[in-house]
């Protein structure tokens, strides 16, 4: 008779644990990074009857919980980390390349259209070279181009500064994840596998790994007790309960980024993840800044050379219209319409103005090179947007595949809960029957 008590008690304990697992699943159905729990039960090995006069004809020992299972698939987890890494990279690149495109400003207030307007004003002036108002307008259009170069340089510098700020935030996030993984590794070594606490630690580990992978293309390996071992660029970042930290440096000249260990050891350039995307965006913006400076130098040189070939109404050689060696330092020098060298050396009143198209426009001109710069950036933006759509779709598919294994289905949990409740009630009924039987026997005696 004592077997009935043991069997009933073991059943109520086991199904109470199973109901707790289902309750945990339902409560965390919307919790990011949570993997569904289940309980495995096994038959007890032998009867626990202790009566000296009892001879067992069958050994029924009831049931016991062998462990708490965490629904996960290492392959699917690794796939989600990989797709999240790619999505993080292209998302960062797309955002800052879009900001760079805005900074280049190919609108009516941008360099390209202002330059076209300047040539149109000079052509109008060629038709009426003595018109003072047209001279003022022409000089003003040159001044506005210089200001547009200044503004574009400043806007691109701000984009570089923004990339640096976000990159530093990404590095801080990476360092936080590395530190968390070291703490989790330490706890995993102390925890008992197959317990709810162990499963919770694995959830925290995978969440930290996901955060880390979204930001940096690290290499992940697993050691004793499922502890995470992290490396990057040949350097170990996490091993056991020890974690390294990273440091970011930005060039004051062009805004390009470099990564190193906290102790100064240089690391390779990140190739993926949010930080990799930011490094790539920083390089692209640095290229745009360099190209802009090259165009500014060319514009100053070409315009001054053209103007020097002309003669003012007073008969003096045309002075420099612009100064500066970069887009940020470009400035207009002449505001007096009388100093505009409209004449050619032979005295033709509009002779120098008539050479505008042949001297300053056409193949290899600043106007054409600006158009090429804008087209190059637009093509890069288009390719990046297409890459983003692909990366986002792949990531959604990977997450859906993982959720099919690890996610919580409330309908399934509700059905399991009803089944476990019935089993629990049946186990309790066994205890009640055993109690009633013992009471009846005692009353007879």
- Best CA proximity match to 307, nearest among 259, 342, 269: 342
In this predicted structure, what is the pLDDT of residue 431?
A: 86
Strands ordered across the beta sheet of 235-239:
219-222, 228-232, 235-239, 242-243
User: In whole angstroms, how far apart are CA 377 and each of 92, 99, 290, 306, 386?
Assistant: 16, 11, 14, 30, 14
Query: 32: burial class by Cβ within 10 Å (0-12, 13-18, 19+)?
Result: exposed
The string over 155-185, giving b where at least 16 C-beta atoms fall within 10 Å of a residue's C-beta and e elsewhere, is ebbebbebbbebbeebbebbbebbebbbebb
184 Rama sector, left if φ>0, alpha if ψ -120 to 50, beta otherwise: alpha
What 8-state DSSP symbol labels residue 238?
E
In this predicted structure, what is the pLDDT of residue 47?
A: 53
In this predicted structure, what is the pLDDT of residue 441?
A: 83
- Best CA proximity match to 355, nearest among 141, 125, 132: 125
In this predicted structure, what is the pLDDT of residue 248?
A: 97
What 8-state DSSP symbol labels residue 38?
E
Structure tokens at 50: 């202790």
In this predicted structure, what is the pLDDT of residue 58?
A: 60
DSSP, residue by residue, 144-159: HHHHHHHHHHHHHHHH
Q: Helix or strand or coil: residue 21?
A: helix
In the beta sheet, which residues pair with residue 260? 247, 266
In this predicted structure, what is the pLDDT of residue 59?
A: 67
In this predicted structure, what is the pLDDT of residue 266?
A: 95
Location of structure tokens 């760079």: 100
pLDDT (tens digit, 9 = 90+) per residue, 168-210?
999 999 999 999 999 999 999 999 999 999 999 999 999 999 9
Q: Which residues of the chain have pLDDT under 70?
A: 1-2, 45-59
Q: Helix or strand or coil: residue 226?
A: helix
């Amino acid at each position: 008779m004592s077997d009935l008590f043991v069997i009933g008690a073991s059943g109520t304990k086991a199904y109470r644990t199973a109901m707790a697992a289902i309750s945990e699943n339902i409560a965390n159905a919307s919790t990011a990074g949570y993997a569904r729990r289940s309980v495995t039960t096994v038959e007890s090995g032998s009867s626990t009857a202790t009566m000296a006069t009892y001879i067992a004809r069958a050994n029924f020992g009831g049931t016991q919980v062998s462990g708490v299972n965490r629904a996960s698939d290492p392959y699917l987890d690794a796939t989600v980390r990989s797709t999240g890494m790619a999505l993080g990279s292209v998302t960062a690149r797309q955002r800052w390349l879009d900001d760079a495109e805005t900074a280049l400003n190919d609108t009516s207030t941008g360099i390209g259209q202002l330059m076209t307007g300047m040539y149109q004003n000079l052509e109008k002036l060629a038709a009426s070279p003595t018109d003072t108002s047209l001279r003022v307008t022409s000089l003003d259009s040159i001044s506005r181009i210089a200001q547009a170069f200044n503004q574009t340089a400043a806007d691109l510098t701000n984009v570089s500064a923004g990339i640096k700020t976000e990159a530093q935030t990404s590095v801080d996030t990476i360092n936080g994840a590395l530190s968390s993984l070291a703490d989790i590794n330490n706890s995993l070594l102390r925890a008992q596998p197959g317990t709810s606490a162990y499963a919770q630690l694995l959830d925290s580990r995978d969440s930290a790994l996901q955060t880390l992978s979204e930001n940096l293309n690290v290499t992940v390996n697993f050691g004793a007790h499922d502890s995470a071992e992290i490396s990057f660029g040949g350097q170990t970042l996490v091993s056991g309960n020890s974690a390294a930290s990273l440091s970011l440096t930005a060039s004051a000249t062009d805004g390009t980024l470099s990564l190193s260990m906290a102790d100064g050891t240089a690391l390779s350039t990140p190739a993926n993840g949010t930080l990799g995307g930011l490094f790539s965006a920083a390089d692209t913006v640095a290229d745009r800044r360099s190209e802009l400076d090259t165009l500014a130098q060319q514009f100053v040189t070409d315009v001054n050379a053209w103007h020097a070939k002309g003669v003012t109404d007073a008969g003096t050689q045309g002075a420099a219209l612009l100064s500066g060696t970069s887009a940020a330092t470009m400035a207009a020098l002449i505001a007096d319409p009388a100093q505009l060298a409209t004449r050619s050396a032979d005295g033709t009143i509009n002779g120098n103005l008539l050479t505008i198209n042949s001297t300053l426009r056409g193949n290899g001109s600043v106007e054409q090179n600006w158009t090429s710069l804008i087209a190059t950036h637009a093509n890069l933006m288009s390719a990046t947007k297409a890459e983003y759509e692909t990366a986002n779709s792949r990531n959604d598919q990977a997450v859906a595949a993982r959720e099919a294994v690890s996610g919580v289905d409330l309908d399934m949990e509700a059905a399991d809960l009803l089944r476990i409740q019935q089993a629990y009630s049946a186990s309790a009924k066994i205890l009640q029957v055993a109690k009633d039987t013992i009471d009846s026997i005692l009353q007879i005696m």
